[in-house]
Chains A and B, each alone.
Chain A
Amino acid sequence: MSRGFGFHRWMAAAGAGLMVLAACGGTSSSGGSVTFKGTKNIGLSIALTGQSALYGHAISQSMKLAADDINAKGGVNGYKVNADILDDATQVANAVNNIKSLILQDNVVAMLGNVTSAQCQATSPVAKQNKTLFIAATCNSYQLTTEPDLVNPYYISIVPNTFMEGTAAGQLAAKTGAQKIFIVSPKYLFGISETNAFVAELQKVAPNATIINNPSTWYVPFPTNPRWDSTINAIQAAKPDLVYSNIFAADEVNFITQALQVDPNFFQKYPMTTLASVDELNALGAKYPLGMHLYQRAPFFALSNPAMNAFVTHYHSVYGEYPSDWAVMDYDAMMMYAKAANAAGSFDPDKVRAQIVGHSFDSLRGYKFTIRAGDQQANVGETVGTTGDSGGKYPFPILVNSTNLKGDDILMPAVIMQQLQAGQCEKTPGTASTTDFSACPAWKTS
């Protein structure tokens, strides 16, 4: 008994000592023999609550894991990195306030991007104003890197953007041979941007296919009502060959759940091409319909390679969950920053940026990606396929017969990117959602 009491007192004293060291913010150590000069914060304002909480949860876990892995290898420039995470409840105003707080109060050396494009549209200018590197691994509207009023030299995108995703989705839809297509999309920058890319690609690869619902009904308010009766009813009324959607997170889960209640064969009658991630598959589990035509950003089960497999094992052992696409990409974002800052030997954003743009980085996705100059977009790929049984390996369906489209094959042509940045493709200057690559002179003549 007295031995136990002594042990606890010793632990309390040790704990107090560590707390004092941490509070001083000076030299501290972590993970055995690694000694750090101090701590540098990398910021993240993310949706831990609200519509996109499902994504924010995985992203925050992955960021912490990446920070631990970076620190276990000596940190960045001799400093320990800390994942400084604030909840924005999937709200734009909260994201802006959080970013200001992270930059001005917590002195972050870099930021990872928010979940939604609407948030990144609002937060990127704040990062630009404060010369803070902003690495987007989830929000992905191409306007964020091409719209003249939004272009930010400190904004790096390592997620396939909406042009790339819409192109991938258009090719996927064309493969199904569908002639009558119904569109449902969230009404904000991301949805409009990706749907435009989908329609443009579809017109190119399947010119006989028609969109059967009026463009004014393509979009649903975002975030929307949790009940999807009206959209489900409209699909039934229109009787399309294929539903194209880029609704996501809670919206996708609710839509699928309610559609299956209306008709257990709903997705056999009205097959669907939709954006998805491991998160939606996991949320619905065995209830996720088989035969859905999905396009995904980084599904671990379709991108098997030694680095990915080790990451999945590590992530699962720490959190008891399978990593979502977002977890994979944000881990890559952290690793890219660490490598670039180490190469720069500095945290100066201009020096780190110089080590990112034009350089190539390893990815958990099994290939190297390169950040091209101009829009600072990585040539990352998109995975397309059809949902099928995982054979008991996972508690959710996976993609069968999947194809990993190469980033270079779906990347926006440089000339279009330049015309977008020159403001030649805007209907209303200064309004990102009216910027459309298919209005560019180069697209019209292609």
Chain B
Amino acid sequence: MDPGKFLLFATGGLADAAYLFIVAAGLSLVFGALRVINMAHGSLYMIAALVSVVVANRLGAGIGFLPSLIAAVIVAAAIGAVIEVTVLKRVYGHEHLVQLLATYAIALIIGGAARLIFGPNYRTTTAPIQGSLTLLGYSYSVYALVMIVAAALIGVGMYAMLLRTRLGRNIRAAVSDPELLNASGVNVTFLYTTVFVIGAGLAGLGGVIVAPSQAVDPTIGDSVLVLAFAISVIGGLGSIIGSAVGALMVGEVISFGLITPATNSFALAFVFIVMTLVLTVRPWGLFGRAET
């Protein structure tokens, strides 16, 4: 494969990895701190994507993107807050099956509500940044490159927040030793709500970023949820670096896998084979920590 082609497919994989990382990071953060597997995470992604498309189209493509991003992330975060306060607080500490069922029910409710409010049809919007650039003889979408850069910045920002801020320290404490955190005087109730809102906001951010490059309808959250789970499991639930590495692996496996004749049929399946291998060898993921 010539260097131009390699760069082309590698960049395609990075574009895939970009939005998947943002979504998976939110899912992973919530599980790491709250020990909740949030089946409604994809629904928050979907709602934000729909809201952003509606707002962007109403205000006009280009200038409408930033307001649409803010509006959509606020909506996703607000719904997240409502879910956490009204439902999740009642199921913390219960076995995972109860949490799974509760969040799955929420996903169904949000999906039904989205169909009623937005209708079942696909919606599309225009990317805020148009144009392409040519490298080694091949064209690249500037918006896809912006997605990659945005995901990297979000990753760095989240890492800095976790390492350098009081909130981050508390979240890390919640991930590694929730009992000790409880005993240390931290308002754990508020911390949990905050973490869930951040997770919901990240799901929303993923939805907003991907919306200009794909058809948006009330079902788009389903497939992204599956991939986000795979990424979180591969990288390690609770680890931002793990989410980044997991997303990178999944994105590149899909990009190179789909175009290689021998692996074309198995590219998506290979993601889950990797996940199964990781679960077998290192059940807590590549960058996760084993629960004691």
**A283 CA to B9 CA, complexed, in Å:** 28
B219 touches A49 (CB 8 A): yes
Say if the beta carbon of A15 comes within 8 Å of chain B: no
Give the nearest-CB partner of A49 in chain B: B219
A67: min CB distance to chain B, Å:
20
A221-B265, A233-B138 given as contacts; is B121 within 8 A of A283 (CB)?
Answer: yes
A54 touches B218 (CB 8 A): no
B264 touches A261 (CB 8 A): no
A: number of interface residues (CB 8 Å): 43
Say if the beta carbon of B120 comes within 8 Å of chain A: yes
**A250 CA to B220 CA, complexed, in Å:** 10
Q: In the complex, which of the residues A224, A234, A263 contacts B259, with contact meaning CB atoms closer than 8 Å?
A: A234
B132 touches A261 (CB 8 A): yes
Q: Mark B195-233, 1 if CB is under 8 A from A, else 0.
A: 000000000000000101111011110111000000000
Q: Mark B1-30, 1 if CB is under 8 A from A, else 0.
A: 000010011011101100000000000000
**A187 CA to B268 CA, complexed, in Å:** 13
A283 touches B122 (CB 8 A): yes
B141 touches A262 (CB 8 A): yes
B264 touches A219 (CB 8 A): yes
Q: Mark A260-291, 1 if CB is under 8 A from B, else 0.
A: 01111010000000000000001111010000
**A254 CA to B223 CA, complexed, in Å:** 14
A263: min CB distance to chain B, Å:
4
Say if the beta carbon of B276 comes within 8 Å of chain A: no
Say if the beta carbon of A196 comes within 8 Å of chain B: no
B267 touches A221 (CB 8 A): yes
Say if the beta carbon of A446 comes within 8 Å of chain B: no
Say if the beta carbon of A428 comes within 8 Å of chain B: no
Say if the beta carbon of B194 comes within 8 Å of chain A: no
Give the nearest-CB partner of B12 in chain A: A229
User: Chain B residues with Cβ under 8 A from A321's Cβ?
Assistant: 121
A227 touches B122 (CB 8 A): no
Give the nearest-CB partner of A219 in chain B: B264
User: Chain A residues with Cβ under 8 A from B8's Cβ?
Assistant: 233, 236-237
Q: Which of B111, B122, B212 neighbours the largest number of chain A CB atoms within 10 Å of its CB?
A: B122
**A187 CA to B264 CA, complexed, in Å:** 10
A57 touches B139 (CB 8 A): no
Q: What are 5 A-B interface contacts by the 8 Å CB criterion?
A: A49-B218, A229-B16, A230-B9, A261-B127, A261-B132
A57 touches B13 (CB 8 A): no
B: number of interface residues (CB 8 Å): 49
B122: min CB distance to chain A, Å:
4
B203: min CB distance to chain A, Å:
16
User: Chain B residues with Cβ under 8 A from A122's Cβ?
Assistant: none
User: Chain A residues with Cβ under 8 A from B131's Cβ?
Assistant: 264
Q: Mark A199-230, 1 if CB is under 8 A from B, else 0.
A: 00000000000000010110111011111011
Report A's interface with B, CB cutoff 8 A.
Answer: 48-50, 53-54, 57, 89, 187, 214, 216-217, 219-221, 223-227, 229-234, 236-237, 250, 253-254, 257-258, 261-264, 266, 282-285, 287, 321
Give the nearest-CB partner of A225 in chain B: B254
B217 touches A250 (CB 8 A): yes
Q: In the complex, which of the residues B126, B258, B262 contacts A225, with contact meaning CB atoms closer than 8 Å?
A: B258
Interface residues of chain B: helix, strand, loop or mixed (majority): helix
B12: min CB distance to chain A, Å:
3
Give the nearest-CB partner of A51 in chain B: B219
Q: Which of B131, B212, B215, B268 neighbours the largest number of chain A CB atoms within 10 Å of its CB?
A: B215
A258 touches B141 (CB 8 A): yes
A233 touches B124 (CB 8 A): no
A283 touches B215 (CB 8 A): yes
User: Chain A residues with Cβ under 8 A from B265's Cβ?
Assistant: 187, 219, 221
**A47 CA to B142 CA, complexed, in Å:** 35
A221-B267, A262-B132, A264-B132 given as contacts; is B219 within 8 A of A257 (CB)?
Answer: no
B213 touches A261 (CB 8 A): yes
**A284 CA to B220 CA, complexed, in Å:** 17
A258 touches B268 (CB 8 A): no
Say if the beta carbon of B261 comes within 8 Å of chain A: yes
B5 touches A261 (CB 8 A): no
Within 8 A of A (CB), among B68-116: 111
A225-B268, A233-B12 given as contacts; is B223 within 8 A of A250 (CB)?
Answer: no
User: Chain B residues with Cβ under 8 A from A224's Cβ?
Assistant: 258, 268
Which 9 residue pairs spanning A and B have beta carbons closest together?
A: A229-B12, A216-B261, A261-B141, A253-B215, A283-B122, A230-B258, A262-B141, A263-B139, A233-B8
Say if the beta carbon of B38 comes within 8 Å of chain A: no
Q: In the complex, which of the residues B141, B142, B220, B256 contacts A226, with contact meaning CB atoms closer than 8 Å?
A: B220
A229 touches B120 (CB 8 A): no
A263-B132, A264-B130 given as contacts; is B268 within 8 A of A54 (CB)?
Answer: no
Give the nearest-CB partner of A214 in chain B: B261
User: Chain A residues with Cβ under 8 A from B126's Cβ?
Assistant: 287
B124 touches A283 (CB 8 A): yes
User: Chain A residues with Cβ under 8 A from B214's Cβ?
Assistant: 226-227, 250, 253-254, 257-258
Give the nearest-CB partner of B5 in chain A: A237
A284: min CB distance to chain B, Å:
6
